[in-house]
Structure formats: C-alpha cells, structure tokens
C-alpha cells in the first residue's frame, strides 16, 4: 500500500516541479470554450442553452488530450518494465498513475470550470451540479482513457489512434454528465443523472485498472 502512496506522492512532486505541463490542459479547456461563443454566436440565450454540453465536451476533450503521455514517459525510460516485474501487482501501479494524473489535470479543471460556466451565463444554481458531475465524470474519463493509452503505449508513431479507441466509451459519461447540468439549469433536480453517473463511476474505477494492467503487460512485452 505504501508503494502506492509513494508513487502518487512522487508523481505529484514531479508535476509540481514541471508545473507548465499541468496548465496545458487548463489552457486548452479555456480555449475550446472560447471558440464556441466566437464560432456560434454570443447571444446569451443560445449560449446559456448550449453551456452544459459545451463545458462537458471541453472537459472531455481536455482530459483525452492530456492522457497521451500518461504511460509514454514511463514506457520509454524503463520504469514501466520495472513495475511490471515488481512483486507488487501492476494494478496498484496503474491505480497510482491514473489517480495522480487525474489530480494533476482534471482537478484544476474542475476548480476553473465554474468561472467558465459563468462566462457562458450558465444559471448559477446549475454550478453546484456542474461541479459534482465533473467530480464524478472526469475520473471516469481518465480511467477509461487509461485503457486506451495502455493499449497504445507501445506504438512507435503517436497516431490519432487514442481518441478513436476511447471516444465511443466516453459517450455514456457525456450523456449523463451534460444532461445533469442541463436539467439543473432548467431548475429541475438532477439527482437521477448524478446517481447513474455515480454508478458508472464506481463501475469504471473498479474494472478499468484491471484492463489497464493487462494492457500494460501486453505493451511491455512488445
């Protein structure tokens, strides 16, 4: 267990030391949101209507793009091989990496999201539900995405493969996440959507690490 904690501590320390990297997903998140009012139209009514879906799609894209280097560095410098051959199971390594990656990239995003929501004049009562839905949804995105990353880590050329593998599995999370915020923006209770999201969350974080560990073993054996 403490090797799990040391790993997480080490990852956070590394992220702290190279701070720039963690901000990239934040900047990307802001940029994507900036595009919509410019691209579509800045009329308040329309923006308020698309705001829930838009914030969720921006968070989904930011999380997916930041996934790419989740295992790549460990694969190339041999750390992955070491952990694959350690007497600890690879699942605890996968868990630690996914958790620290979520803390580094998704947590700051959730903290910033309300500010962007206001800029899209999302009704303020929906902000609370937005944060809860992101708190439940983004770990799910990271864990499911982790499976795709583990499968493609061994590839020489970094291709567009990851989004292709992972986006179909993001769809249920997007459906319930976006509609939770959308429904609460109209003043209805979003409990139903959040419960389902919580259900998916539990299913995701329990099953995904097994798939990630198995996929890492396959990538390491290349």
Partner 1 sequence: MLFSAHQLSCIRSHKTLFENVSFQISAGQLLLVEGKNGAGKTSLLKLLTGLRRPDSGEVHWNNLNILNSESDFRSHLAWLGHQNPLKEEQTALENLILLGHIRPRNTNSMISALKTVHLGHVKHKFIKTFSAGMKRRLCLASLLIADTPLWILDEPQAALDKAGIALFEDLAEQHLKNGGMIIMTSHHSVNIAPEYIQTLKLGQESQ
Partner 2 sequence: MNILIKWYYRLGAPLWFYPLAGKLIPWVAALFLLFLIPGLYMGLVTAPADYQQGESFRIMYVHVPAAWMSMFVYLAMAIAAVVALVWRVRMAEIMIISAVPIGASFALIALLTGAFWGKPMWGAWWVWDARLTSELILLFIYLGILALYNAIEDKTTAGKAMSILTLVGVVNLPIIHYSVVWWNTLHQAATVSVFDKPSIHIDMLIPLLLMATAFKFLFLLILLLKMRANLIEQDVHSGWVKKIILDKQAEMEKEHD
Query: What CA–CA distances, in Å, run from 137 to 5, 17, 36, 61, 85?
Result: 23, 27, 22, 13, 32
Which of 78, 160, 168, 187 binds partner 1 (CB under 8 A)? It is 78
Q: For residue 206, what are its two tokens?
A: 């329990």
156 is a site residue for partner 1 (CB under 8 A):
no
Rounded distance, CA 108 to CA 111, Å? 5
Q: Are 141 and 98 in contact (CB under 8 A)?
A: no
At 87 the three-state DSSP class reads coil
The position carrying tokens 């590839």 is: 155
87 binds, among partner 2, partner 1, none (CB under 5 to 8 A by kind): partner 1
159 binds, among partner 1, partner 2, none (CB under 5 to 8 A by kind): partner 2
24 is a site residue for partner 1 (CB under 8 A):
no
157 is a site residue for partner 1 (CB under 8 A):
no
CB of 26 to partner 2, least distance (A): 28
Question: Which is closer to partner 2, CB of 28 or CB of 143?
Answer: 143
27 binds, among partner 1, partner 2, none (CB under 5 to 8 A by kind): none
**Region of 17-25, 73-81, 82-90, 207-215 interacting with partner 2 (CB under 8 A):** 207-215
Q: Angle 90-119/191-220 helices, nearest 10 degrees?
A: 140
Q: What angle do CA 146, 73, 71 make, to 5 degrees?
A: 15
CB of 147 to partner 2, least distance (A): 6
Which of 151, 180, 181, 190 binds partner 2 (CB under 8 A)? It is 151
Q: Are 83 and 178 in contact (CB under 8 A)?
A: no
Q: Are 123 and 48 in contact (CB under 8 A)?
A: yes
The residues binding partner 2 (CB under 8 A) are 147, 151-152, 154-155, 159, 161, 164-165, 167-169, 171-172, 175-176, 179, 196, 200, 207, 211, 214-215, 218-219, 221-222
Give residues in contact with partner 1 (CB under 8 A): 2-3, 6-7, 10, 13-14, 17-18, 76-79, 81-88, 220-222
């Amino acid at each position: 267990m403490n090797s799990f904690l040391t790993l997480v501590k080490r990852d956070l320390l590394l992220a702290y030391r190279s701070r720039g990297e963690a901000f990239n997903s934040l900047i990307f998140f802001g940029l994507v949101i900036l595009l919509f009012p410019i691209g579509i139209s800045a009329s308040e009514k329309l923006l308020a209507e698309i705001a829930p879906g838009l914030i969720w799609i921006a968070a989904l894209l930011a999380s997916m793009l930041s996934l790419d280097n989740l295992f790549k560095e460990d694969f190339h410098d041999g750390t992955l091989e070491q952990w694959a051959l350690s007497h600890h199971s690879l699942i605890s390594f996968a868990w630690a990496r996914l958790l620290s990656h979520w803390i580094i990239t998704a947590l700051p995003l959730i903290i910033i999201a309300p500010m962007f929501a206001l800029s899209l004049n999302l009704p303020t009562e929906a902000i609370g539900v937005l944060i809860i839905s992101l708190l439940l949804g983004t770990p799910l995105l990271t864990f499911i995405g982790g499976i795709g990353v583990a499968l493609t880590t061994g590839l020489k050329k970094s291709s567009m493969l990851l989004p292709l593998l992972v986006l179909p599995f993001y769809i249920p999370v997007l459906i319930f996440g976006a509609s939770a915020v959308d429904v609460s923006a109209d003043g209805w209770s979003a409990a139903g959507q959040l419960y389902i999201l919580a259900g998916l969350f539990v299913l995701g974080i329990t099953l995904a690490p097994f798939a990630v560990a198995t996929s890492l073993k396959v990538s390491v054996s290349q």
